[in-house]
Amino acid sequence: MDISMEAVIEKSGTPVSLPHVYLEMNRLIDLPDSTLADIAKVAEEDLGLTARILKIVNSPYYGFPSTIDSISRAVAILGTKDLRDLVLTTTTLDIFTKMKFKHDHIQEILRHSLFCAVNARLLAIELHQPQTECFFVAGLMHDIGRLILLQALPESSHMAISEARTTGQDLDSIEQDIFGFTHSDIGNRLAELWHLPENVKEVIAFHHNPGRSRHFPLQTAVVHLADNRANLIDKKSSLVSNPPPVKQEALNVTSLSLERIDELLKTAPDHFKEVNQLFMNSDVAA
């Protein structure tokens, strides 16, 4: 198929840039002389976003011992990068849930992405990672390329998914044959256009091949494992009948066994229900 990734993104109706609030927060976080007050002020410009963030951080899912009643307080407790990732999560879900879906599989991908995010956060907690939101948002974004392909080229994408389901062939290989690129490739291109953090770009690019991750191997390995287990645990959202086995390098990087992972993720369905209500506030992934 003779079509560029940029043309596919445009055809999908996906915005080629994120809202000003996220981009400005991202810019300030990277400036050494910016303050917590500077970052909070930018977030507070969007009243709807402020309300959603405060609702989320005060939910039982986050379990903070006292009420967080302002963005300034949220920045102080969460830290700038976790708040940035939370803004990215809410902004991304807002974009895709408002789009007019052209294919039923998009509902499944949204559900799968949220389930993968929940799994990734649970694994990050087990690994004693100080910033778990970056794992959550990376899990949420890992398959964004599939959303774009289905929205832009629904018939060809459905054909690729059906072939993968019936033959057990790797979906990436089928996509490469049909489109000339994979959902990971186009997801990474959108991440570049959206100026997403480098860790998210790398996870999107290599979540099927974590051994190729050079700068963020732990996050990429965790999302690889979370993705695999989401396909096995949540059959409603799996687009593959027989997910390929996990890569040994992902187990090596995390020092987790499959038995331990499966034990940790027994609570994932309950966490998913809570997160779905919190972030989606709809039946998209119910």
Domains of the chain: 16-80 (no CATH), 99-280 (1.10.3210.10)
Evaluate whether 150 touches 187 at the Cβ level (below 8 Å): no
Cα radius of gyration (the chain): 18
Could you tell me the sign of the dihedral formed by the alpha carbons of 240, 189, 276, 61, in that order? Answer: positive
> pLDDT in tens for each of the 286 residues of the chain?
789 999 999 999 899 899 999 999 999 998 989 999 999 999 999 999 999 999 999 999 988 889 999 999 999 999 999 999 999 999 998 888 777 666 667 888 889 999 999 999 999 999 999 999 999 999 999 999 999 999 999 899 989 988 887 887 888 899 999 999 999 999 999 999 999 999 999 999 999 999 999 999 999 999 999 999 999 998 776 666 677 889 999 999 999 999 999 999 999 999 999 999 988 764 444 4
